[in-house]
Structure 1
């Protein structure tokens, strides 16, 4: 069986499992493995990564994640060694831990730098071998892009919240530079003989302006994870839709999986705030800020669950985003 054609679709199974996990880091790992990719495949250079070759591997991973939930100390210790501040680095450490300790692909090497004339020209994220002998080169990217608004549906319309990244440019770099690295003659001299099958592992969230439903860009997986974005000026009207919701600011390393449910007695400790109280915190943020809404489950369960997430952006951000999307950055 080809590693490009897994026997089962992991998204539904791992999404159901994720809902039972209370440890945020284990939830993030389950989400990373099972969430829908942001992109469709772009063969031959941009095949999509397939985490599992067989249903047995996926079932074993479910059991492994449940065991990790019972005792996540080893995973947390592995994450504590590097000083992680970037979301991409956090996801890289999670995926690396799975490939090294999990019951699927065997990790051969990670972060393999390719140098030419003393200069680093690129780095391969992961080299692995599957149980059936496929040798894979994965390039990982975890992204949160905001659709810049309007009816156009191009990858260039998906921009980073700080307007320093654009989805079309990221994909071009993946296809044109990162994925071909393992096929270069210089790479064989590093001791990792190929051939390696390059695949892209691109996960994350895409956010759309409140009130707009643009068509989905053809390059995107239509089932990608979605959120909203709203300007500060529209924020009061947006929040009026859900007057009973509690809100929380999400730090960057909480941008992967939906946060665990919060018991009634832990609402304050978890930082869940009313809209009014949240406003005091938002006043300290000048740029785009990710927030999440929590709503109380039906009586008797006594928990608050994340129901949506998105970005609150400055009022001038939409015009700046459109200019960046249409520019030649």
Structure 2
């Protein structure tokens, strides 16, 4: 029986993962162990499972701890890729795990499928498990803000820049991306199948502070959650939530952040109060992801929660986009 994130408390202590210090290793652990955004969508949209057995799961935790002790090779690989997009960063992390980790092995990544010179699509990962199953994984890491005023359908979850929507993304995954490996053209590429298509969709969903949402049954209730608030409401929200804040760059949108004080200072990472953060983002046109922090007993800066501060006119625009 495959092991999914919901079974983690029974088989691995989260304290061992919390001990990871290197940000890239923490991001990789989050990618592997965090809850899916969606429940399975049979018959096409089955969920990817990284671990086939409890032994593979435990071996992965040990492997991550060893990698955390010396992450230089991983960091070199990421730097060589010159990653600027969150999705590409996640691809690099998962590819590294499949190439060097203790579970399934990578057969190929980013496999283009063409017909008559036209690109039909690209398969993210072709994977073979230790038991010999051949899997086609489609990876997506998404951050959607709920804009449905209480409703919880997938169309009510929109990208911060209003260029993406959860229902449209899922439709593309189910109708276009996952079926690629079953097309006749794919058989000519030399990757012997048949391939089992599975979706690997991780990320965060953000809800307006103080609003109750009746979530769609398609969404995994254990998904990672954050909040959003307008600039007008931000001062009151911040005052009752955290004393220290920072803007999260896009490549820090995966795992909750944790910073050693010395390392944060060396990297120029500053933690500011809410008014200073407001000044910092005052001239930004769109939503900004921020995180609130506290200092723990060991002197580390630990993320308390994360969310988006959006322009005051953003909620109306988002609701209109959700209904298009």
Shared fold, TM over 0.5: yes
2:25/2:64 contact within 8 Å kept? yes
Match 1:320 to one of 298, 317, 322: 317
Name 2:164's counterpart in structure 1.
165
Partner residue, 2:130:
131
Partner residue in 2 for 1:121:
120
Contact preservation (8 Å) 1:46, 1:175: yes
What's the counterpart of residue 78 of structure 1?
77
Partner of 1:263: 261
Aligned partners of 1:34, 1:16: CA distance in 2, in Å?
13
Q: How much has 1:10 moved relative to structure 2?
A: 5.9
**How much has 1:267 moved relative to structure 2?**
6.3
Supply the distance in 2 between the matched residues of 1:314 and 1:158 (Cα, whole angstroms): 17
The 3 A distance-change label for structure 1 pair 173 and 217 is same
TM-superposed CA distance for 1:240, in Å, is: 1.6
Return closer, same or farther for 1:14/1:250 CA change in 2, 3 Å cut-off.
farther
Question: Which whole-Å CA distance do the structure 2 matches of 1:146 and 1:161 have between them?
Answer: 6
CA contact under 8 A between 1:15 and 1:34: conserved in structure 2?
no
CA 1:270–1:14 in structure 2 vs 1: closer, same or farther (change >3 Å)?
A: farther
Superposition pairs of residues 227-306 of structure 1, within 5 angstroms: 227-242=226-241, 245-263=243-261, 266=264, 269-297=268-296, 300-306=297-303
Change (3 A) 1:325 1:107: same
Corresponding residue pairs, total: 321
- Local SS of the residue matching 1:195: coil
**How far 1:9 moved relative to its partner?**
5.0
Retained in 1: the 8 A contact 2:84–2:251?
yes
Q: Which residue in 1 is equivalent to 2:102?
A: 103
Residue 148 (structure 1) aligns with: 147
Q: 1-side partners of 2:226 and 2:153: how far apart?
A: 18
Paired with 1:254 and 1:63, the residues of 2 have a C-alpha distance of: 24
Trace 1:171-250 onto structure 2 (pairs within 5 A): 171-242=170-241, 245-250=243-248
Q: Which residue of 2 aligns with 1:311?
A: 308
Distance across 2 between alignment mates of 1:257 and 1:324: 28
| Structure 2: distance between partners of 1:145 and 1:168 | 11
Flag structure 2 segments of 5+ consecutive residues without an equivalent.
Answer: none
For residues 7 and 50 of structure 2, the distance between their equivalents in structure 1, rounded to whole angstroms, comes to 8
Over residues 28-82 of structure 1, what are the superposed CA-to-partner deviations in whole Å (9 max), with x where a residue is unaligned? 0000000000000011100000001111111111111111101000000111112
**Aligned with 1:152: secondary structure?**
coil
Contact 2:204–2:226 under 8 Å retained in 1: yes
Structure 1 pair 102/14, CA: closer, same or farther in 2 (3 Å)?
farther
SS of aligned partner of 1:90: helix
Q: Please state how far the C-alpha of 1:6 moved relative to its aligned partner.
A: 2.8
Q: Secondary structure at the residue paired with 1:109?
A: strand
TM-score computed with the length of structure 2 as normaliser: 0.95
Contact 1:141 1:201 in 2 (8 A): yes
